[in-house]
Amino acid sequence: MERQLEPASNLGRRLMQRLLGRPTVAAAHREARVIAVASGKGGTGKSFVSTNLAVALHRMGRRVAVVDCDFGLGNAHLLLGVNPRHALHHLLSGEVDLAQVLVRTPFGPDLVAGGSGISGIAEFDARQFVMLARCLGEVASDHDVVILDCAAGLSTQTVLTMLGAEHVVLVTNPEIAALTDAYALVKCLARHGNGPEVHLVVNRVMVPGQGRPTFERLADVSRRFVGKTLSYLGEVTDNPNVSHRRLGQPPLIVSHEECSESKSIRSILAGLEVAVGPLLAGIPSEGVEQRLVHRLRGT
Contact residues toward Mg ion (CB under 5 A) are 46-47
**Amino acid in the structure at residue 111:** L
Binding mask 137-176 for ligand ATP (x = CB under 6 A): ---------------x------------------------
Binding mask 241-260 for ligand ATP (x = CB under 6 A): -xx-x---------------
The answer to whether 293 touches 2, Cβ cutoff 8 Å, is no
Part in contact with ligand ATP (CB under 6 A); list of ranges 2-10, 44-52, 154-162, 183-191: 44-52
The answer to whether 166 touches 33, Cβ cutoff 8 Å, is yes
State which residue, 15 or 179, has the beta carbon closest to ligand ATP: 179
294 interacts with, out of ligand ATP, Mg ion, none, CB within 5 to 8 A per kind: none
Give yes or no for residue 46 binding ligand ATP (CB under 6 A): yes
Compute the CA torsion angle 289, 32, 49, 38 (nearest 10 deg): 20
Other beta carbons within 10 Å of 126: 18
The answer to whether 177 touches 41, Cβ cutoff 8 Å, is yes
> Measured between alpha carbons, how far is 128 from 94 in angstroms, rounded to an integer?
9
Residues that contact ligand ATP, how many (by CB under 6 A) = 20
45 interacts with, out of Mg ion, ligand ATP, none, CB within 5 to 8 A per kind: ligand ATP
Rounded least distance, CB 72 to Mg ion, Å: 11
> Measured between alpha carbons, how far is 89 from 71 in angstroms, rounded to an integer?
7
Rounded least distance, CB 195 to Mg ion, Å: 22
The answer to whether 190 touches 229, Cβ cutoff 8 Å, is no
Q: Give the residue from 47, 65, 32 showing the smallest Cα distance to 171.
A: 47
Q: Give the residue from 224, 189, 219 showing the smallest Cα distance to 202.
A: 219
Q: Which of 261, 265, 268, 295 binds ligand ATP (CB under 6 A)?
A: 261
Give yes or no for residue 235 binding ligand ATP (CB under 6 A): no
Residues that bind ligand ATP (CB under 6 A): 39, 42-48, 70, 73, 152, 203-204, 236, 238-239, 242-243, 245, 261
